[in-house]
Amino acid sequence: MIENLLSLFRMKLLNQYTEQIKRLCELNKVKTLFAFGSITTDDFRPDSDIDLIVDIEDSDPISYSDKYFNLKFQLEDILKRHIDLLEKKAIRNRFLKKEIDQTKVLIYGNRD
């Protein structure tokens, strides 16, 4: 029963902000945004942070950095939680990548 309530809580948390997240992704030239970790499992709690993977389309380091931090801080404002935002291109450890790939859920963009 509690696990079902937690699943509903997780889905509701992201779904209620779908349009805001979509606009934020468009504004920051996000190609893909995935959730992973506890928010995609029954380990998610009301005080959990949210783990996300982002792929931003921008080759200029200054502009990229602006978009990355703007996305992170605005997501924290919208979701009222700490956001751990990983860059897709920074995930090089194959074991970590495999673990992430097993739980990740697409929030924005097209699945790779």
Instruction: State the pLDDT confidence band at 3, using cuts at 50, 70 and 90.
Output: very low
Domain boundaries, the chain: 2-109
Q: pLDDT at residue 24 above 70? A: yes
Tell me the fold of 2-109.
Beta Polymerase; domain 2 (3.30.460)
Work out the mean pLDDT of the chain and round it to a whole number. Answer: 85
Residue 28: C-alpha distances to residues 51, 58, 74, 93 (Å)? 18, 9, 11, 26
